[in-house]
Chain A
Amino acid sequence: MIEGISIYEILTLTSILFFIGVYGFLTRKNLITMLLSIELILNASAINFVVINTYLYPENLQGVYFSVFMVAIAAAETALAVAIIINLYKLITSVEVKDTEIMKY
């Protein structure tokens, strides 16, 4: 509970953050920035977990724990994604999305 700030304001903020991430994911042309956008999406949902836990069920802590899990999984996922991007770079010397269409059909 933060004095003077209602749950609606925080949820509005996280929604904005989430859609910024989605927008970035759909429009960026570079794999690295796409990865950053995914982090934004994840962060938005992690904040949602914490906020809903704190405002609606203050006696429980599951939402907080979940956000800790999400941070850990996001780190692992980022490590994997970076590894894939590095290998892709070795293969085609590019991290542009438009250069990765070789696997279509």
Chain B
Amino acid sequence: MDFSYTALIPLIPLAVFLLLGMNYTRIKPAVSGWIGSLGLLVTLLLSYYTAYQYFFVVGKVGEVYQTFTEHWRWMTFTDTLYIDMGVMIDQISVMMLVVVSTISFMVHLYSRGYMKGDGGYTKFFAFLSLFTFSMMGLVLAVNLFQIYIFWELVGVSSFLLIGYYYTKPSAVSAAKKAFIVTRFADLGFLIGILIIGYYGGSFDFVTLVDPEGSAIANWASTSFMGLSVITWGLILIFMGGAGKSAMFPLHIWLPDAMEGPTPVSALIHAATMVVAGVYLVARLFPMYYFVESGYALNLVAWVGAFSALFAAVIALTQNDIKRVLAYSTMSQIGYMMLALGVSGYEGHDGLGYMSSMFHLFTHAMFKGLLFLAAGSIIHAVHSNYLKDMGSLRKYMPVTHITFLIAALSISGFPGFAGFFSKDEILVAAYEHNPFIYLIGLLVAGMTAFYMFRIYFGIFWGEDRKYEHTPHESPVSMTFPLVFLAAMSILTGYIPFSSLVTADHMPFEAHLNYPLAGLAVGVGLIGIGLAYLLYKKPSDLPERVSKGFGNLYTWAYHKFYFDELYLFITKEIIFKRISAPFAWFDRNVVDGTMNLIGNSTVAGSKGIRKLQSGRLQDYAFAFIAGAVILAMLFIYNWII
């Protein structure tokens, strides 16, 4: 089967980006919205066609899903070390095609309503297309270099879109923060790529992840500081993934990224770009699993588990609904990382891998929906803060119902998509490490609590007097909500274990009823607590938060991580390291150069006295010279 047409999937949004980007003053907003959406529609159809072809027609030979690649040689270093551009069609890339194109198309439709009347409407659609191009290229990448190139491109698109309201200082600084933090993480990624390329002998995914291939088989050949160099490479690559996926020490950019327009938060900072780190680990999963018996993979599990818990605690206390959703995203991505970390490779052992991808899929749907619904609410009340909302169920029925569906789904309520994927994750964690399982269970309860905290706060709670009566959003905005709400239920019934697996072979996954029941119970406790505290206005929440004392204050201030990083960069790096360097540069390096320049100037000041401007001085010099030369001539050759 020839899958080379899939190269069109990223190229069509690129064409749309160029078209809109180069003519953005000339194309009318109404037209550009249509161009962007139609371009995406083509991409969407191609992605769905690819998925159908791959999963149901040609993908499976016998019991094994095949990997199809198309290469176009780009740079050659040696016979075995070269860089291709190309497309790679396998289970996870096809799955990601579906996720990215679906969410992106919905966000395009939604933005036509949400961004209506905005001055930079065409520019916005151009950036969305640029992002879709980059993300598709990332998903389809055949080797580490291609993924790195598109990795940076999604970073750039994210930067452009976070800073879309570039007249707002907070948006500008948020964009810079996101770019700098992820760039810092990508430094690790790049070093990791070079290590893997050098010691693994290839950049190609197909060669690298082959369990019998040389990269995995020879991992023990070179070691550094007690670990295999390949493990170091994988840890550094995970650092890049952690930066983009907002994992624990590198998470600080994600909440600030909510300064961007809400559809952008839905597309980039909830559903697609932030799961790129998960995708990267999944892409290299056999390496993580086999090299040094999964040392790096264990790190992934613990970082994921800690991030999930950490973000959930912060999400409990935030008052800006988009920030709650941002921390929730971080927490759910932690879940996916955790699931990858506890996964095995063959058959049913690969449950964690499968459930991670499953959760990625369902999470994209319901978290995208939550953000779009939040955008609809913000559109109606012109505020991000819970204190400005309440009783909105009367004014916005569609938003209310769809938000409720998404909240139930993320809380793992039985029958909704989140229930199925989360259950699989918890089962995988339980089989691997009970402690991680307990963290997962705790996070599940907290997730239910904070989701329903904002749900009750927005749609129930106090009956407010609004300056402008809030009204339901236009159809262009509610249609994506309804579609994604349907997806938030239906995607749970996809038999993922027969489609996406670690060893490319389908297996049977069953619901584990005791564990599922426990998770649902914890979720219900969370929902119930939220109901008691926030359904009716009371001072109970305040008393409870007082009861937690310092812990509440710390969580409310995000455990002071922003302040800590500012302290490290400003007080330690800038003052103790950069300032001496700057002094050396200014005084020693610049001083030497200035000395040379100044002495030239001083010398020329003395010399220019010779240029008196008097004609006769010059004539005298000339004649004197001629006479001296003549006398020398006579003295040497004639006498």
Residues of A within 8 A of B (CB): 22, 25-27, 34, 97-98, 100-105
- Pairwise interchain contact A22-B623, C-beta atoms closer than 8 A: yes
- On chain A, the residues within 8 Å of B623 by CB distance are 22, 26
Instruction: Using known A-B contacts A97-B614, A98-B614, determine if residue A105 contacts B608 with beta carbons closer than 8 Å.
Output: yes
Q: Which secondary structure dominates chain A's binding surface? A: helix
A100 to B615, CA, bound (A): 8
A-B contact count (CB 8 A): 28
Residue in A26, A27, A34, A103 whose beta carbon sits within 8 Å of that of B613 in the complex? A103
Q: Given A26-B619, A97-B614, output 14 extra A-B contacts at Cβ < 8 Å.
A: A25-B616, A25-B619, A26-B616, A26-B623, A27-B616, A34-B616, A100-B613, A100-B614, A101-B612, A101-B613, A102-B613, A103-B613, A104-B611, A104-B613
**Least CB separation from A22: chain B residue:** B623
B5 at interface (Cβ–Cβ under 8 A)? no
- On chain A, the residues within 8 Å of B614 by CB distance are 97-98, 100-101
**Least CB separation from A104: chain B residue:** B613
Residues of B within 8 A of A (CB): 608, 611-616, 619-620, 623
Q: What are some 19 contacts across the A-B interface (CB < 8 A)?
A: A22-B623, A25-B619, A26-B616, A26-B619, A26-B620, A26-B623, A27-B616, A34-B616, A97-B614, A97-B615, A98-B614, A100-B614, A100-B615, A101-B612, A101-B614, A104-B611, A104-B613, A105-B608, A105-B613
- On chain B, the residues within 8 Å of A98 by CB distance are 614
B570 to chain A, nearest CB (A): 50
A34 to B612, CA, bound (A): 18
A22 to B623, CA, bound (A): 8
Instruction: Using known A-B contacts A22-B623, A26-B623, determine if residue A97 contacts B612 with beta carbons closer than 8 Å.
Output: no
- Pairwise interchain contact A104-B612, C-beta atoms closer than 8 A: yes
A53 to B613, CA, bound (A): 40
**Least CB separation from A28: chain B residue:** B616
**Least CB separation from B627: chain A residue:** A22
A22 to B616, CA, bound (A): 10
A24 to B273, CA, bound (A): 90
Instruction: Using known A-B contacts A22-B623, A26-B623, determine if residue A97 contacts B616 with beta carbons closer than 8 Å.
Output: yes
A17 to B616, CA, bound (A): 19
B408 to chain A, nearest CB (A): 86
A26 to B624, CA, bound (A): 11
A104 to chain B, nearest CB (A): 3
**Least CB separation from A100: chain B residue:** B615
- On chain A, the residues within 8 Å of B620 by CB distance are 26
- On chain A, the residues within 8 Å of B616 by CB distance are 25-27, 34, 97
- On chain A, the residues within 8 Å of B608 by CB distance are 105
**Least CB separation from A27: chain B residue:** B616
- On chain A, the residues within 8 Å of B612 by CB distance are 101, 104
A102 to B613, CA, bound (A): 7
B295 to chain A, nearest CB (A): 74
- On chain A, the residues within 8 Å of B613 by CB distance are 100-105
A83 to chain B, nearest CB (A): 17
B607 to chain A, nearest CB (A): 11
- Pairwise interchain contact B619-A105, C-beta atoms closer than 8 A: no
The 10 A-B residue pairs whose C-beta atoms are closest, nearest first, are A104-B613, A101-B613, A104-B611, A26-B616, A26-B620, A105-B608, A105-B611, A97-B615, A103-B613, A101-B614
A34 to chain B, nearest CB (A): 8
A65 to B608, CA, bound (A): 44
B302 to chain A, nearest CB (A): 75
A95 to chain B, nearest CB (A): 12
- On chain A, the residues within 8 Å of B615 by CB distance are 34, 97, 100
**Least CB separation from A25: chain B residue:** B619
**Least CB separation from A29: chain B residue:** B616
A97 to B614, CA, bound (A): 7
A105 to B616, CA, bound (A): 16
- On chain B, the residues within 8 Å of A100 by CB distance are 613-615
A47 to chain B, nearest CB (A): 20
A36 to chain B, nearest CB (A): 14
B618 to chain A, nearest CB (A): 10
A100 to B617, CA, bound (A): 13
- On chain B, the residues within 8 Å of A34 by CB distance are 615-616
A102 to B608, CA, bound (A): 14
B629 to chain A, nearest CB (A): 15
B281 to chain A, nearest CB (A): 71
**Least CB separation from B620: chain A residue:** A26
**Least CB separation from A102: chain B residue:** B613
B610 to chain A, nearest CB (A): 10
- On chain A, the residues within 8 Å of B611 by CB distance are 104-105
A88 to chain B, nearest CB (A): 12
**Least CB separation from B624: chain A residue:** A26
A102 to B612, CA, bound (A): 10
A81 to chain B, nearest CB (A): 12
A34 to B608, CA, bound (A): 26
B602 to chain A, nearest CB (A): 16
A26 to B614, CA, bound (A): 11
A102 to B615, CA, bound (A): 11
**Least CB separation from B612: chain A residue:** A104
B411 to chain A, nearest CB (A): 84
**Least CB separation from B626: chain A residue:** A22
A25 to B623, CA, bound (A): 11
- On chain B, the residues within 8 Å of A101 by CB distance are 612-614
